[in-house]
């Protein structure tokens, strides 16, 4: 029996949720790591009742990895370069399981996860994306929004399924697109919201106080 299986709650249509004990986060990142740091801050400031069990980067030189080590958070690099997707993901699963991770949080993780990985953590992988999904999935979402002439942009926290940024939406926040915006200025405005939104969405998922109706994540 896994830690999660020992729980008392149940996410309808999904795995059992342990509303008391499900708190151990596994963060996957590839770069700067500002979302990871915002989650770490929320935990330190007791706005989020969770612990970061491990940070794993697929890039050894990711600044987010160095930032985690500086804070004394357990962080490891599993270089992915040249490795078959599933072979790599098996290593990743082993690393996450070794740290008893309950919820996987993608925080600027720039590698597509295999179906194998996703099926190992059903409704237990979150991602943050810098657009109001389903608009502008994929890379350079802020640039896509500007090019399209969108007047409202934002960010989305969603469960990860096997599609591209397509899983059920947990939370969203909107920001205006201003006439003088560049991809950089719009990204900065969105990022500020990302840093607030991700911890709030994680708290909701860890609480187990939600159900999934079709594609809709609703409070239970």
Binding site for ligand GRF (CB under 6 A): 29, 31-35, 64, 107-108, 128-130, 155, 191, 194
Which residue in this structure is represented by tokens 């342990």?
A: 18
Give the shortest CB-22-to-ligand GRF separation in angstroms. Answer: 23
Catalytic, 129? Answer yes
Name the active-site residue from 129, 143, 148, 158. 129
DSSP string across 50-98: -EEEEEEESSTT-HHHHHHHHTT--EEE---TT--HHHHHHHHHHHHHH
Q: What ranges make up the beta strands (E) of the chain?
A: 9-10, 16-17, 24-29, 51-57, 75-77, 103-106, 125-129, 152-159, 169-176, 210-213, 216-219
Q: Give the count of beta carbons closer than 10 Å to the beta carbon of residue 30.
A: 19
The residue sitting closest to ligand GRF, measured at its beta carbon, is 108
Nearest to ligand GRF of 14, 137 (CB atom)? 137
Give the shortest CB-80-to-ligand GRF separation in angstroms. Answer: 16
Give the shortest CB-111-to-ligand GRF separation in angstroms. Answer: 12
Nearest to ligand GRF of 65, 92 (CB atom)? 65
Nearest to ligand GRF of 145, 155 (CB atom)? 155
Q: Which of the residues are catalytic?
A: 129
């Amino acid at each position: 029996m896994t830690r999660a299986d020992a729980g008392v709650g149940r996410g309808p249509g999904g795995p059992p949720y342990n509303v008391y004990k499900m708190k151990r986060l596994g963060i996957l990142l590839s770069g700067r790591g500002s979302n990871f740091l915002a989650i770490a801050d929320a935990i330190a400031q007791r706005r989020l009742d969770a612990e970061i069990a491990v940070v794993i980067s697929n890039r050894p030189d990711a600044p987010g990895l160095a930032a985690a080590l500086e804070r004394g958070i357990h962080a490891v690099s599993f270089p992915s370069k040249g490795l078959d997707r599933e072979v790599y993901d098996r290593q990743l699963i082993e690393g996450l399981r070794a740290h008893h991770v309950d919820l996987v949080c993608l925080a600027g993780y720039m590698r597509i996860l295999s179906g194998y990985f996703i099926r190992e953590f059903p409704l237990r992988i979150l991602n943050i994306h810098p657009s109001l999904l389903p608009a502008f999935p994929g890379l350079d979402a802020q640039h896509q929004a500007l090019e399209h002439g969108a007047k409202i942009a934002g960010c989305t926290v969603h469960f990860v399924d096997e599609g591209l940024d397509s899983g059920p939406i947990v939370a969203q926040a909107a920001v205006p697109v201003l006439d003088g915006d560049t991809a950089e200025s719009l990204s900065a405005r969105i990022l500020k919201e990302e840093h607030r939104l991700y911890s709030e969405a994680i708290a909701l998922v860890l609480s187990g106080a939600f159900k999934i109706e079709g594609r809709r994540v609703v409070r239970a």
